Amino acid sequence: MALSIKQKQVLGVTSIVVLIVVTLSGVQLVSLTRALMTQTRDRGAVLAMMVGHSAVDAPLSHETAYQDLRRDPELRAALESAVYSEGIAYAAIVDPAGTIVAHFDPSRIGERLPAADDLAALSEAGGVAQLRSVYQTNRMLEWRQPLLKDDKPFVEIRVGFSTLLMRDALTDALAPALFAAAVALGVAIVVAVLLAQIVVRPIHVIRSGLSRLGQGDLGATLDLKGDEFKELGDVFASVTAQLKAVLPDSAKRSQLLELSRRVTALGRLTAGVAHEVKNPLNAMTIHLELLKQKLASGQPPSATGTHVDIISREIRRLDDVVQGFLKFARPEELTLRAVSVGELVDEVLKTLAVEANVMHVTLETAIGPGVPDIEADPGILRQALLNLARNAVQAMPDGGRLTIAAAPTRDGRVEIRVADTGIGIPPGNLAKIFDLYFTTKESGTGIGLSLVYRTVQLHNGDIDVESVPGAGTTFIIKMPKAGSATQADAPTPSLRAESERLRRSS
């Protein structure tokens, strides 16, 4: 499965952080192992020196020196005290043949003590070799110190250390570093997701601008922030200017754009009708055929009741589809007047306040004092904005922020933005969200956003959407300013007559 740009960026940043964390943890582990090995060597030397002093101070005869060492109480006490030190496995004195002469456990005297790995040599080895030695199968490391008598090797003091105990000490010392590494990794993932959203947003803005340009909206611009994208925005504006130059004069261009908007609106409204009509018709055809077969075979009426009920239900469903379509097809009585955007938005947010509070959603506005009034039917437009705002609140099940902003545009219109921080819309659904009967909700009707789209079109406005999955969605509505509507913007007489005909027939 191909990864998206956002997934690739999150994976890349996380991989880099993991590599850094693993490398630093490895260096830290090697450093701790070297320090522990040096500390263990020093402790072994001190303990061996303590046992050696007790052995040297013991009264020894030439013939019974080994027996004297075994019986010396101070030497035995020194061996026993050495074992009680942390990490010590054993302490013993052996003769040149490796036979135990004295041991903290008297029962082992006379046994042969196999030589373990030399701790002195290992403490001088590299950190990786030390780490491998500690984390291999449980083994012993010995500190050895020979004692001479008459300038000849007499006995050897051996202090044994268990690598298992050393490993436990390393693990305890490394625990804070591992915790810090886990926290760093978690922070890196969160930062990577936020960075990915910032990087991906311009892509969605560019896609939206190109979509509007493809629909004939030569006033489309790219809302790109930052110097990095300024050049791209300039290129887009240059292309738009060239298209305006090669298209017909302004009057014809205005008519073409108006026709394009109307065709687009009709296409969106009717996109799902064929599918919704086809399904109940198919179901009725199948059950009519089954009903016909049962009646021909002489079955009693009780056996045909199920098919009749299903056919009746599908007829009602088909009627709902047709009535829904007529609701969009019949003309709307608009009472246009100058409407204050600030007052309109305040009414919408007051209506939505209780529902937003339950969903832990913060409501905000960003409408400056210089925003001009718009030419609109306040009741119908208020319902469309409320529909958008309610959808936004429902898209934030874990809480979030809903912001409605307004500002004048360069082309003399007013732009209204309804932005949320919700779950966003998958890119594959962006082109279909305004289609009649299209919905992703289990209990949705697929009419709400289509109604919003139709309302904006009736007001000679435009609506677009930008969305980043996981980061939120912004609906952008551009409405004409109050007093800017011209006769060219109004429906043509033929369209008005057709609208009246549809009203009478419905």
What's the CATH code of the domain at 60? Answer: 3.30.450.20
- Residue 270 placed within a domain: no
Q: Cβ(421)–Cβ(400) under 8 Å?
A: yes
Full residue range of the structural domain in which residue 149 is found = 5-180
* Per-residue pLDDT, 497: 41
Q: What is the model's pLDDT at position 275?
A: 53
398: exposed, middle or buried (C-beta count within 10 Å: 0-12, 13-18, 19+)?
A: exposed
The answer to pTM > 0.95 is no
| Pair of tokens at residue 113 | 């003590």
Q: Which of 180, 201, 230 is the last residue of a domain?
A: 180
Residue 372 lies in a domain: yes
**In sequence order, what E strands does 150-304 have?**
152-162
Q: Which of 180, 201, 217 is the endpoint of a domain?
A: 180
Structure tokens belonging to residue 180: 């810090």
Residue with tokens 């904006």: 456
User: What is the residue-level pLDDT of the chain in tens, covering all 506 positions?
Assistant: 556 666 776 777 778 877 887 888 788 788 888 888 888 888 878 877 877 776 666 665 555 667 767 777 777 777 777 777 777 888 888 888 888 888 888 888 888 888 888 888 888 888 788 888 777 767 788 888 888 776 777 788 888 888 887 888 777 877 777 787 788 778 877 877 777 666 666 666 776 777 666 656 666 666 666 655 666 667 777 777 777 666 655 555 555 555 565 555 555 555 555 555 666 677 777 777 777 777 777 777 666 777 777 777 777 767 766 665 666 555 556 788 999 999 999 999 988 888 888 899 999 999 878 899 999 988 889 888 998 998 899 889 889 999 999 999 888 899 999 999 998 888 878 777 877 666 666 555 567 787 888 888 888 888 888 888 888 899 999 999 987 644 334 443 333 444 444 344 33
* Closest of 218, 214, 208 to residue 242, by C-alpha: 218
In a domain, 195, yes or no: no
- Is the residue at 159 inside a domain? yes
- Whole-number pLDDT of residue 454: 82
Lookup result for tokens 């373990």: 116
Specify if 107 maps to a domain: yes
What lies within 8 Å, CB to CB, of 49 at 6+ separation is 145
pLDDT at residue 320 in the model: 65
Among residues 180, 209, 229, which one ends one of the domains?
180
CB proximity list for 61: less than 8 A, separation 6 or greater: 68
How far is Cα 117 from Cα 122, in angstroms, rounded to an integer?
8
Query: Residue 338's pLDDT is what?
Result: 92
Task: From 392, 456, 440, select the one nearest 264 (Cα to Cα).
Answer: 456
CATH of the domain at 374: 3.30.565.10
- Count up the domains in the chain and report the number: 2
Segment holding 206, helix H or strand E: helix 163-214
> Is residue 141 situated within a structural domain?
yes
Note whether residue 360 is domain-resident. Answer: yes
> Is residue 128 in a domain?
yes
**Residues 6 or more apart from 158 whose CB is under 8 A from it?**
90, 91, 92, 93, 94, 113, 142, 143, 144
